[in-house]
Amino acid sequence: GENVEQHPSTLSVQEGDSAVIKCTYSDSASNYFPWYKQELGKRPQLIIDIRSNVGEKKDQRIAVTLNKTAKHFSLHITETQPEDSAVYFCAAIPIQGAQKLVFGQGTRLTINP
């Protein structure tokens, strides 16, 4: 089955700097990769996703890149703000067939003012 590894487990950056979180996956059949943000005491919320036929996707200050050959994908947050502080989870899933959504271990991002 799929296995997703996420690094780093914690990340602290100065407000205004960029943050990068990386994930690797094991199943080459995985073709959909969402990212979730979980603020303290709240449910995980989908913030961006990417399909395997796309190498990069951007939405304002966040972007995700995918390298299918190397089986890794990354979340990039630019011009970080205090409200970006949260735990971020990556996930991978093969769309075809009955497959489960497999999550990485999470990254606790802290933005220092």
Partner 1 sequence: GAGVSQSPSNKVTEKGKDVELRCDPISGHTALYWYRQRLGQGLEFLIYFQGNSAPDKSGLPSDRFSAERTGESVSTLTIQRTQQEDSAVYLCASSLVTSGSSRGFFGPGTRLTVL
- Extract the tokens encoding 74: 């990354």
Interacting residues with partner 1 (CB under 8 A): 32, 34, 36, 42-46, 49, 51, 89, 91, 93, 95, 98, 100-106
Q: How far is the CB of 79 from partner 1 (least distance, A)?
A: 26
Q: How far is the CB of 64 from partner 1 (least distance, A)?
A: 13
Q: Which is nearer to partner 1, 57 or 78 (CB)?
A: 57
Q: Which is nearer to partner 1, 18 or 105 (CB)?
A: 105
Q: Which is nearer to partner 1, 102 or 109 (CB)?
A: 102
**What DSSP line would sit under the chain, residue for residue?**
---EEEE-SEEEEETTS-EEEEEEES-TT--EEEEEEE-TTS--EEEEEEETT-SEEEETTEEEEEETTTTEEEEEE-S--GGG-EEEEEEEB-SSSS---EE---EEEEEE-
Q: Which is nearer to partner 1, 19 or 102 (CB)?
A: 102
Q: How far is the CB of 113 from partner 1 (least distance, A)?
A: 23
Q: How far is the CB of 44 from partner 1 (least distance, A)?
A: 5
> Which residues have C-beta within 8 Å of that of residue 54, sequence separation ≥ 6?
66
